[in-house]
Structure 1
Amino acid sequence: MEVLTYVLQGILALMFLMAGFGKVTGSKMHVEAFTHWRLPQWFRVVTGLVELAGAVLLIVGYWVPASAMAGALLLAVTGIGGILTHVRVKDSFKDTAMILFLAILSFVVLYLYLA
């Protein structure tokens, strides 16, 4: 079970490193997405920093399990915020699926550490 936890943790960390980096650097896709969601661009940067912090906590979590739990919880809550954002603007399930998957994966990693 420990190997599964580490693999899921790694996938989650990589996904949020990529997403967070794209938001912080202002990739066209993320700028347009935050405009579509009617959210200010400063919130894109804050969201990106939170995602990067969660990913770093997951990486540190390979050595310090409490860090992995904190990172997974942070990213799970961020994922819930992302899902609510998609619901608020009535995005399709296809547009919402990735953040839904990442939120569930975050909760699974948290559960595996707590179990």
Structure 2
Amino acid sequence: MTLSIILQVLLALGFLMFGYQKFTSEQMKKGFEYFGYGDSFRIFTGSFEILSAIVLIAGIWVKPLAAIGGFMIVATMIGAILTHMKVKDSVKNMLMPLMLLVLGAIVAALNWSSLF
């Protein structure tokens, strides 16, 4: 489970940063406008990303939360990929969300059995 903990910490650090940026970055505000989303969805997304990070960290000690956090990351990245597809963005711009989706899926898979 060392792999899972390493991925959980890395994803949590990333999603704390990504979520924080949704609240503070002008570039994020402009990006959400470009994608056709309002401020309320940007705030929701940032909050969900920060919550995902917290759940992943808590999952180090409470294993079912690691799986739930992994699924939260997967759901967020599916949304990001669909958004990029909606605006006919290049595959290059989808690589980061695809990579994060895979890493979230690995965490969810590694901790799947703890849900039952």
- Under TM normalisation by the shorter chain, which class is it? over 0.9
Question: Residues 24-63 of structure 1: matches in 2 within 5 Å?
Answer: 24-25=23-24, 27-63=25-61
Contact 2:16 2:49 in 1 (8 A): yes
Question: How many residues in Structure 1 have an aligned counterpart in Structure 2?
Answer: 113
Gap runs ≥5 in structure 2: none
Q: Which AA in structure 2 matches 1:45?
A: I
Gap runs ≥5 in structure 1: none
1:6 aligns with 2:8: no
Superposed CA deviations along residues 54-108 of structure 1, whole A, max 9, x for unmatched, are: 0000011111011111111111111101100000001111211111111111011
Superposed CA deviations along residues 29-52 of structure 1, whole A, max 9, x for unmatched, are: 211110111111210010000000
> Which stretches of structure 1, 4 residues or more, deviate above 2 A after TM superposition?
none
Question: Residues 1-115 of structure 1: matches in 2 within 5 Å?
Answer: 2-25=1-24, 27-114=25-112
SS at match of 1:62: coil
Deviation at 1:24, TM superposition (A): 2.3
TM-score between both structures, scaled by the size of structure 2: 0.92
TM-score between both structures, scaled by the size of structure 1: 0.93
Q: Which AA in structure 2 matches 1:14?
A: L
Q: Which AA in structure 1 matches 2:109?
A: Y
Work out the CA distance in 2 between the residues paired with 1:22 and 1:45.
10
